[in-house]
A and B are shown apart, each in its own frame.
Chain A
Amino acid sequence: MTSPSGPSANLYWLPSIDDWSVRIAEIERSEVGEAAWNALVALAGVKLDFVRVGRLDKALMRLFGDGPPVNLATRPIRLAVLASSTTAQLASALRVAGLRRGLWITLYEPDYGQYRQELANPASGLYGFAPTAILFALDAGHLVGDVDPALNPESAEAVVHQRCDLLQSLWRSARAAFGAQIIQQTVLPVFPPLLGSNEQNLPGSRAAIAAEMNARLRAIVGAEGVGLLAIDAWATQLGLDAWHDPVLWHRAKQEITPRAAPLYGDLVARLLAAGQGRASKALVLDLDNTLWGGVIGDDGLQGIVVGQGDPLGEAFAAFQTYAAGLERRGILLAACSKNDESNALSPFEHHPDMVLRRSRFSAFVANWDDKASNLKEIARQLNIGLDSLVFVDDNPFERNLVRRELPMVSVPELPEDPALFARCLADAGYFEGLTITAEDRGRTALYETNREREASRTKATDLNGYLASLEMALSWRTFDRVGLARTVQLINKTNQFNLTTRRYTEDEVAAVMTDPSAFGLQFRLTDRFGDNGIIAVIIGRVDGAGLCFLDTWLMSCRVLGRRVEEATLAVVVEQAIAHGATELVGCFRRTAQNGMVADHYDRLGFTPLPGQPGDTERLYRRDVAETAHDFPITIRSE
Chain B
Amino acid sequence: MDDQAIMAELTDIFRDLFGDDSIVLAPETMADDVEGWDSIKHISLIVAVEDHWNIKMKTSEIDTLKNVGDLQRVVAAKIG
Contact = CB atoms under 8 A, between A and B. Distances in A.
Contacts of B62: 247, 251
A51 B51 CA distance: 10
A1 B55 CA distance: 11
A35 to B, nearest CB: 20
A22 to B, nearest CB: 11
Contacts of A50: 44, 47-48
A258 B51 CA distance: 11
Contact of B17 (A54, A59, A245, A252): A54
- Chain A CB within 10 Å — which of B21, B39, B40 has the most? B40
Contacts of A194: none
Interface in A251-285: 251-252, 254, 257-259
A569 interface: no
A59 B47 contact: no
Interface string B33-45: 0000001100110
B19 A252 contact: no
Given A52-B16, A55-B16, A89-B43, A259 B51 contact: yes
B13 interface: yes
B66 to A, nearest CB: 16
B43 A51 contact: no
Interface residues of B, number: 16
B59 interface: yes
Nearest to B61: A247
A247 B50 CA distance: 12
Nearest to B15: A55
B71 to A, nearest CB: 15
B40 A88 contact: yes
Interface residues of A, number: 24
B43 A49 contact: no
Contact of B19 (A59, A86, A248): A59
A58 interface: yes
A559 interface: no
A86 B42 CA distance: 14
Nearest to B63: A251
Contacts of A25: 21
B39 A252 contact: yes
Contacts of B39: 252
Contacts of B21: 25
Contacts of A250: 59
Contacts of B59: 247, 250-251
A28 B19 contact: yes
B47 A259 contact: yes
Contacts of A252: 39-40, 43
Interface in A63-89: 86, 88-89
A619 B48 CA distance: 73
B19 A258 contact: no
A254 B17 CA distance: 18
B11 to A, nearest CB: 13
Interface in A24-72: 25, 28, 49-52, 54-55, 58-59
Interface string A300-332: 000000000000000000000000000000000
A89 B51 contact: no
Contacts of B13: 51
A426 B47 CA distance: 28
A251 B58 CA distance: 11
B37 to A, nearest CB: 13
Contact of A257 (B16, B47, B58): B47
A247 B59 CA distance: 6
B19 A58 contact: yes
Contact of A258 (B16, B43, B57, B58): B43
Nearest to A56: B19
A247 B39 CA distance: 15
Contacts of B43: 89, 248, 251-252, 254, 258
A250 B40 CA distance: 14
Given A1-B51, A51-B13, A251-B62, A89 B44 contact: yes
Nearest to B51: A1
Contact of B48 (A51, A59, A88): A51
B15 to A, nearest CB: 8
Nearest to B62: A251
A258 B47 contact: yes
Interface in B9-37: 13, 16-17, 19, 21
B47 A55 contact: no
A55 B44 CA distance: 12
Contacts of B48: 49-51, 258
Contacts of A55: 16-17, 19
A51 B40 contact: no
A1 B47 CA distance: 12
Given A1-B51, A89-B40, A258-B44, 8 more contacts: A49-B48, A50-B44, A54-B44, A247-B58, A248-B43, A258-B48, A259-B47, A259-B51
18 contacts: A1-B51, A25-B21, A50-B47, A51-B17, A54-B16, A54-B19, A54-B44, A55-B19, A58-B19, A88-B40, A247-B58, A251-B62, A252-B43, A257-B47, A258-B47, A258-B48, A259-B47, A259-B51
Interface of B: 13, 16-17, 19, 21, 39-40, 43-44, 47-48, 51, 57-59, 62
Interface of A: 1, 25, 28, 49-52, 54-55, 58-59, 86, 88-89, 245, 247-248, 250-252, 254, 257-259
Per CB-CB distance, the 3 closest pairs between chain A and chain B, nearest first, are A58-B19, A55-B19, A88-B40
